[in-house]
Amino acid sequence: MHELSFGNWLIHISSVIEWIFTIFVVYKISKYKQYNLFFWLSLAMVPNLIGAMCAITWHIYDNQDALYGLVTLQGIFTFIGNSTLALASFNIFKKKENYE
C-alpha cells in the first residue's frame, strides 16, 4: 500500500465511511417521515459506493496492472451512480410540493 500517502488514504477511507453514513441517514429519513422518494435517493447512492470500493481495492493492491479492470469498473459504477442520483434528485424536485 505504498502508492498513496497517509493523508490520501485518510481522505479515501473517510469519504467512503461518510458516504455509507449518508446512505443510512437518508434511508432513515425516508422511513421516519414517510418520504418514499428519499428511499430511492438512498438506493441511488449505492453504485457510487461500489465505484469507490473498486478504486480503494485497486489502491490496496498497489495499483497492479492485473487488476486494472477495477479502474474500468469504477468508472462504470460512477457513471451509473451519477445517473441514478440525477434521476432520483429530479424525481424529488418534481414532487417537492408533496413534502412542503
What is the rounded CA–CA span in Å between residue 13 and residue 48? Answer: 14
Higher-confidence position of 96 and 1? 96
Higher pLDDT, 37 or 16: 16
1, part of any domain: no
Q: What's the total number of domains in the chain?
A: 1
Q: For residue 91, what is its C-alpha cell?
A: 424525481
The pLDDT score that the predictor gives to residue 79 is 98
In a domain, 18, yes or no: yes
The whole model's pTM is what?
0.86
User: In this model, does residue 3 exceed pLDDT 80?
Assistant: no
Residue 44: partners with Cβ closer than 8 Å, 6 or more residues away: 81, 84, 85, 87, 88
Note the pLDDT of residue 99. 58
67 within some domain: yes
The model's pLDDT over 27-81, given as tens digits with 9 standing for 90+, comes to 999 998 778 889 999 999 999 999 999 999 988 888 889 999 999 999 999 999 9
- In-domain check, residue 20: yes
